[in-house]
Homo-oligomer: A and B are copies of this chain.
Amino acid sequence: MPVLKYYYDLLSQPSRALYIFLKLTQIPFEAKPVSLRKGEHRSDEFKEQLNRFQKVPFIHHGDFKLAESTAILGYLSREFRHLIDDHWYPENSQARAKVDEYLGWHPLNTRMKCALYFWHKWLIPIMTESEPNERKVAAQESEMVTCLDEIETLWLSQGHKYLTGDQISVADIFAACEMEQPRIAGYDVTEGRPLIKTWFERVKQDCHPFYNEAHAIVDKIASKTKAKL
């Protein structure tokens, strides 16, 4: 089997999620870090040779190129099934469907809402060297708050220890990695949300030590933000 090359930047939420998944399952891969901050993904060469979408994460597996984190997850689950403990992405049809239900809900909810808050509060001001647009930040914060409340009411109130059942799955990893991003901008998603707080601790513990390893850069930036506040 050809070497799996994993291209990622640990500042990208889905990059962290797949990184943690690869490490936990011990799927062998060659790490290919890409620096988004240095704009490495913007060159024509990157577009032609590496990934036409000019984003991370993506993989090369021999001649096969693949982008989009959920597509990569599905591909890895087939190609490396023997290495993956079933609870991460269950073979049972209904259990798999429940994980996929969260992964289907995720992009336009957890991912979009947490990312847009992070952009308006932190990323855009840094990139444009200007103050945050407080009206936009407030609007995005309100949408994020609704989404985080829904994570408690629609997902974590279903009587399970994790988002989609009593065992941890990739759904939990994908969700947690997105919910770390607002922390860079000074917002703690666990504050005032006891269900998220308990769940978050559980996920971090189950993914130890790779969760912390993947989030070292987030921790570093978040502590700088905190010092400023």
Contacts and interface: CB of A to CB of B under 8 A. Distances in A.
Interface of A: 52-53, 64, 66-72, 74-75, 78-79, 93-94, 96-98, 100-101, 103-105, 107-108, 111-112, 154
Given A75-B97, A97-B75, A104 B53 contact: no
Given A75-B93, A78-B93, A79-B93, A108 B105 contact: no
Given A104-B68, A104-B71, A105-B68, A52 B97 contact: no
A47 to B, nearest CB: 10
A93 to B, nearest CB: 5
Contacts of A101: 66-68, 71
Given A71-B97, A93-B78, A52 B104 contact: no
Given A64-B94, A75-B96, A107-B108, 6 more contacts: A53-B105, A68-B103, A72-B97, A75-B100, A79-B93, A107-B107
Nearest to A108: B107
Contacts of A111: 108
Given A93-B79, A107-B107, A107-B108, A71 B100 contact: yes
B74 A96 contact: yes
A177 to B, nearest CB: 15
Contact of A52 (B72, B74, B96, B154): B154
A69 B111 CA distance: 17
A107 B154 CA distance: 20
Most chain B C-beta atoms within 10 Å of own C-beta, residue among A64, A103, A107 = A107
Given A75-B93, A78-B93, A79-B93, A104 B70 contact: yes
A64 B112 CA distance: 28
In the A-B complex, the 5 residue pairs with the smallest Cβ-Cβ separation, listed nearest first, are A68-B104, A71-B100, A107-B107, A71-B101, A75-B97
Contacts of A104: 67-71
Nearest to A53: B154
A143 to B, nearest CB: 13
A73 to B, nearest CB: 9
21 contacts: A64-B94, A64-B97, A66-B97, A66-B98, A66-B101, A67-B101, A67-B104, A68-B100, A68-B103, A69-B104, A71-B97, A71-B100, A71-B103, A74-B96, A74-B97, A74-B100, A75-B93, A75-B97, A79-B93, A107-B107, A108-B112
